[in-house]
Structure formats: structure tokens, C-alpha cells
Amino acid sequence: MSTNTTDEPSREMRDPTKDEYLELEKMLGAAEYELAADITAGNKALDDAVKTARERAASAIGDTRDSRSKRRG
């Protein structure tokens, strides 16, 4: 005998696709994990690109200073 006092069946009984929901939740979790990994990789790639750009800029500034020093010297 059911302990449910309403005329509605329990959630498990009225939801025939419970396993489908669980499978979708697993897929969503995997997609979220993959997205987080992609974002992390993208952030690392961006950090590397910024670092390279800064190094090139510093090198160009150094080259410009060296060039000016040679003209003055």
C-alpha cells in the first residue's frame, strides 16, 4: 500500500524516462567538464600569446634604444 496521500502517483511511477534524465545529466556533466578544459586551454594559449607579444615588444623597444644610442654615440 502506498503512503502517498494524494491521487498523484509517486515521481518514480509517473516519470517513465527517469533513466533518460540520468543519462542526460551525465552527458551534461561531461560537456561541462570538457568546456571547462577547453576554456582552461584557451586561457593558457591566450596567456602564452600575451607573453610572446610582450617579449617581442620589449625586444623591439630594446632594439630602438640600441639604435638611438648608436646614433648619439
Q: For a pLDDT cut of 70, what percent of the chain falls above it?
A: 75
At 12 the pLDDT is 57
* Mean pLDDT calculated for residue range 1-10: 58
3-state secondary structure of 57: helix
3-state helix, strand, coil in the chain (%, to 5): 80, 0, 20
Closest CA to 70 of 59, 62, 60, 57: 62
Look at 29-33, 36-40, 48-52, 65-69 and tell me which has the smallest mean pLDDT: 65-69
Domain boundaries, the chain: 34-73
Residue 7 has pLDDT above 70, yes or no: no
What pLDDT, in 10s, does the model give residues 10-41? 655 656 688 999 999 999 999 999 999 999 99
